Amino acid sequence: MQMTRRKLVLVTGMAGSGKTTLSKIVREAGYKVLTMGDVIRELAKQQGLDPTPENIGMLASEIRKEGPDAVARRCIELLKKGYSNELVFVDGIRSLAEVNTFKEVFDVVLIAIHASPLSRYKRLTRRGRSDDPKSWEEFKERETRELNFGIGNSIASADYMIINDDGIDRLEKNFHEIISKVK
């Protein structure tokens, strides 16, 4: 007997492409968003660790040692426990290995968000998180690291592509066009 599987929306995109802004729009539209960070914070809680940047960083490296889809597997555990029948978005997909792991359990829709390298560089230098690039060279190094995870393959395989080079109004419009098709 085959049961209808729950739909899950996965979101992938390079650093600075606008994933955080998109998540905000998704939440405002009434959907749940689970991020990779949530998964690691949950694990910290389980292990009785304070969610300091050091602990979170340490846990993130530890989880990834288990395999390329380890974060995805933790995410699935959380999804099975904590979310009922609502449509959930998972933000921060980094490889097709992760996508395929989610596909074992869910009816997956993969959305990629794209912005040009120049737009992303400008956003990241403006954002200025401690790990954000300070120069074009640092940006290019970070790009290479991210691409080595295989994120390019998940972007190339997206069911829907959202272009985010033209401001937040356009991003919001693009999102609502796509969500009407996804549902």
Dig out the tokens for 108 from the structure: 């997956």
Other C-beta atoms lying within 10 Å of the C-beta of residue 123: 18
CB 21 within 8 A of CB 168: yes
Q: Which of 62, 104, 135, 157 forms a contact with a copy of itself (CB under 8 A)?
A: 157
Q: Which stretch, 19-27, 85-93, 111-119, 124-132, contacts a copy of itself (CB under 8 A)?
A: 111-119
C-alpha to C-alpha distances, 1 to 99, 109, 124, 131, 133, nearest whole angstrom: 24, 23, 49, 49, 51
Q: Which is nearer to a copy of itself, 43 or 115 (CB)?
A: 115
Phi and psi angles of residue 61, each rounded to the nearest 5 degrees, phi first: -65, -40
If binding is defined by CB under 8 A, does position 88 make contact with a copy of itself?
no
**Backbone dihedral region of 13: left (phi > 0), alpha (psi from -120 to 50 degrees) or beta?**
left
What track of x and - describes contact with a copy of itself for positions 6 through 45 (by CB under 8 A)? --------x-------------------------------
- As a residue count, the chain comes to 183
If binding is defined by CB under 8 A, does position 49 make contact with a copy of itself?
no
If binding is defined by CB under 8 A, does position 151 make contact with a copy of itself?
yes
Q: Which stretch, 34-42, 70-78, 80-88, 152-160, contacts a copy of itself (CB under 8 A)?
A: 152-160
If binding is defined by CB under 8 A, does position 168 make contact with a copy of itself?
no
If binding is defined by CB under 8 A, does position 182 make contact with a copy of itself?
no
Task: Report, in Å, the least distance between residue 83 CB and a copy of itself.
Answer: 26
Intra-chain end-to-end CA distance of the chain, in Å: 24
Q: Which is nearer to a copy of itself, 116 or 135 (CB)?
A: 116
What does the alpha-carbon distance between residue 52 and residue 116 come to, in Å, rounded to a whole number? 32
C-alpha to C-alpha distances, 115 to 110, 155, 161, nearest whole angstrom: 17, 12, 10
Q: Which of 7, 38, 163, 172 forms a contact with a copy of itself (CB under 8 A)?
A: 163
Chain contacts with a copy of itself (rule: CB under 8 A): 14, 96, 112, 114, 116-118, 143, 147, 150-161, 163
